[in-house]
Amino acid sequence: MAAIFAFAESRDGALRKVALETVTAARRAADATGGGEVHAMVLGGPGIADAAEALGRAGADVVFTVEDAALARYSPEVAAATAAAAIADGDYRAAFFPASAEGRDLAPRVAAALDRSLLADVTEFTFEGDDVVASHPAYAGKAVATLRLSGAPALLSVRPGAVTAVEAPRTPRVEARPPALAPAEARVVVTGLVARGAARLDLAEAPVVVAGGRGLRAAEHFGLVEALADAIGDAAVGATRAVTDDGWRDPADQIGQTGRVVSPDLYIAVGISGAIQHLAGMRSSRVIVAINRDKDAPIFKVADYGIVGDLFDVVPRLTEEIRKLRAG
Amino acid sequence: MKIAVCIKRVPDTEMRFTIAADGKSVDPTGLKYEMSTFDEYAVEVALRLNEQHGPGDVTVVGLGPDGVGEILRKALSMGVDRGVHLTAPEVPFDGRVVAGALAEALTGQGYDLILFGRNATDTGAGVVGAMTAGRLGLPCVTAVSHLEIANGRGTARRELEGATETVEFPLPAVLTIDEGIARGRIPSLKGIMAAKKKPIDTREASLGAPAIVVDRLAPPPDRPPGRIVGEGPDAVPELVALLRDEAKVL
Ligand SMILES: Cc1cc2nc3c(=O)[nH]c(=O)nc-3n(C[C@H](O)[C@H](O)[C@H](O)COP(=O)(O)OP(=O)(O)OC[C@H]3O[C@@H](n4cnc5c(N)ncnc54)[C@H](O)[C@@H]3O)c2cc1C
Ligand SMILES: Nc1ncnc2c1ncn2[C@@H]1O[C@H](COP(=O)(O)O)[C@@H](O)[C@H]1O
């Protein structure tokens, strides 16, 4: 019976949250297509094979481990060649990738190597006979396209946060594999990886995102947003383009059409008007809270809960109440 | 340097739009179009590279219906030297098919760099650049937010979630351009006049059969109606209670 392939993303020797989401997506696909196996692949430096246990807990029956000192950092060409070789050698109904920064780089390379089409950045999928039918948000979030891909293996990348990782524990068979391209032969080489603000969860990992807009008026007032994120604990900080353009925050923090797309459990928009380009990056969040002094701001149209008021009064109070909640 | 930039014509993001009667496409009535945002950045990157490294030649390539000529012309007015219009009644949703046609037009032309947007701002999901690179057998770096070229090699920066990556690569190469590197310049009057005399080579795109088709295009599912909890800091305790007990996110 055909199996399902899952690419498990890691960074700095540890699995990323999206790795478990990808395995969960693959598990779901396997169960929907007759209960075949899930084969997960993880690449990394020495020790990455230890990730097999966590991948088994997420539902992988087989884990391919590709360990090489040169793979301690992501190597796009080696990863693509190795994933493509595994997919080509096996009997796969589908292969899943995360639509994270790394996955968005990797999945089209794999598709090119296999000369197959890719359903990229999908939020939902079902299997219908020989087809996969998937949803892909388009036109700055103003529409959702339902796309149909025929044939096997079907390649898909899934938007981070669109699938919630759940456990489906098993003891996986672990199989060490060599890289399909010698790392020294790679033309494109990652020579550096520098974490920003390592103390905090990043936008792809955090279940909560607190984002600030121009309503904060100055870079130093972002301290209010940081304090709120700290009180919540597992929260990342995001920003609008107005804010990154003014240099108050790093461009990588930008959420929206030309920034990141996030789907956290909770999104708190502070002093953000809710322009269409911003909504494109956060409207699929599970719960949205908006704090804005203008009751007609468009952000309130997508918010589940809103407070109309001056953020300089509301946010410190919110931080305080959440601290109390966390303490109590 | 000899540089090509692939640019897509997309509906203006700010415009309201309606879904056509077929339930699968956008109703073109009254729609305004623009160059996809990241592609505009890519054009700017190409122009700046040649301003910096001495004279070169920049070609823009667009695949799609008649209206594509307008965005090619816009790129020419920004300072691009020539355009190629690969005609197709519509742009297929399957990025593999688009990449195949672009690769055929780009192959063997001796480009030092071929630039794409990170993703098309309408339907795109960021696959055409890397897939075209695959077809051409060229090294590829995606989502570039900073770029330096020297001695036939490039160094690029990519923004990941929570981290910045540095990547080195040899030329010729394919790059896809992200936010943060350059915004497109506004064409000058002189540029607009000059563009009228620049060549656009028009020929039919050779499109393969798509494996991805659109079943439906629909507005996004409505979010459940929200509510204003209250005004000012006094509303905070109730908000926190709702987030904890009703939404269960705290
Ligand atoms: C091609 C293109 C791409 C773009 N991509 C993106 C993108 O990826 N992401 C993005 O975010 N934007 C993007 N934009 C920009 C977008 O159109 C908006 O300009 C931007 O999102 C506005 O940011 P803002 O909400 O912070 O600022 P504003 O629109 O200025 O809103 C500030 C809000 O703060 C409120 N406010 C002010 N003071 C207070 C106070 N004391 N207390 C409470 N509330 C207060 C105001 O009522 C207002 O609603 C893009 C634009 C273009 C043209
Ligand atoms: N029809 C097209 N004509 C020219 N370039 C295109 C076309 N479609 C996509 N591209 C290029 O490929 C990039 C990525 O597109 P996509 O993979 O659709 O998100 C775009 O930013 C353009 O640079």
CA angle A141-A158-A261, nearest 5°?
40
pLDDT over 80 at A197, yes or no: no
How many percent of chain B have pLDDT more than 90?
90
Atom 51, ligand 1: which residue's CA is nearest? A277
Task: Name the β-bridge partners of A143.
Answer: A138
Residues of A (256-285) whose Cβ lies below 8 Å from B: 257-260, 265-266, 276-277, 283
Residues of A (220-249) whose Cβ lies below 8 Å from B: 232, 236, 241
What is the structure's pLDDT at A78? 98
* E strand or H helix that includes residue A40: strand A38-44
Which pTM does this prediction carry? 0.96
What is the structure's pLDDT at A198? 62
Average pLDDT over residues B134-149: 97
Dihedral pair phi/psi, residue A194, rounded to 5°: -120, 120
Q: Measured between CA atoms, how close is A221 to chain B, in angstroms?
A: 18
pLDDT over 90 at A187, yes or no: yes
Q: Provide the 8-state DSSP code for B19.
A: B
Average pLDDT over residues B91-103: 97
- Residue A111 CA to ligand 2 center (angstroms) comes to 16
**Chain B contact present for A103, CB below 8 A:** no
Average pLDDT over residues B194-203: 98
pLDDT over 90 at A297, yes or no: yes
- Residue A312 CA to ligand 1 center (angstroms) comes to 17
What is the structure's pLDDT at A199? 74
List, for residues B13-33, the tens digit of each pLDDT value: 888 889 999 999 999 888 999
Round to whole Å and give the CA distance between B136 and B116: 14
What is the structure's pLDDT at B54? 87
Average pLDDT over residues B137-147: 97
Quote the mean pLDDT of chain A: 96
Reported ipTM: the value is 0.95
* E strand or H helix that includes residue A106: helix A101-114
Average pLDDT over residues B137-148: 97
List, for residues A306-326, the tens digit of each pLDDT value: 999 999 999 999 999 999 999
pLDDT over 70 at B46, yes or no: yes
**Residue B247: strand, helix, or coil:** coil
Of B218, B237, B243, the CB nearest to A144: B218
What is the structure's pLDDT at B221? 86
Q: DSSP for A215-231?
A: GG-SGGGHHHHHHHHHH
What is the structure's pLDDT at B15? 84
Round to whole Å and give the CA distance between A126 and A133: 5
Contacts 24+ apart (CB under 8 A), A83-88: A83/A5, A83/A7, A83/A41, A83/A110, A84/A109, A84/A110, A84/A113, A84/A114, A84/A180, A85/A180, A86/A5, A86/A39, A86/A41, A86/A177, A86/A180, A87/A5, A87/A114, A87/A153, A88/A114
- Residue B64 CA to ligand 2 center (angstroms) comes to 10
Round to whole Å and give the CA distance between A7 and A21: 10
pLDDT over 90 at B244, yes or no: yes
Query: Among all residues of chain B, which has the CA nearest to that of A159?
Result: B125
Quote the mean pLDDT of chain B: 96
Average pLDDT over residues B220-243: 95
Print burial letters for B103-129: b (CB count within 10 Å at least 16), e (below 16). bbbbeeeebbbbbbbbbbbbbbbbbbb
**Ligand nearest B133 Cα, by number?**
2
Q: How confident is the model at residue B70 (pLDDT cuts 50, 70, 90)?
A: very high
What is the structure's pLDDT at A202? 87
Pocket of ligand 2 (CB under 6 A): B 6-8, 36, 38-39, 61-64, 91, 95, 98, 116-117, 119-120, 124-129
List, for residues B152-183, the tens digit of each pLDDT value: 999 999 999 889 999 999 999 999 999 999 99
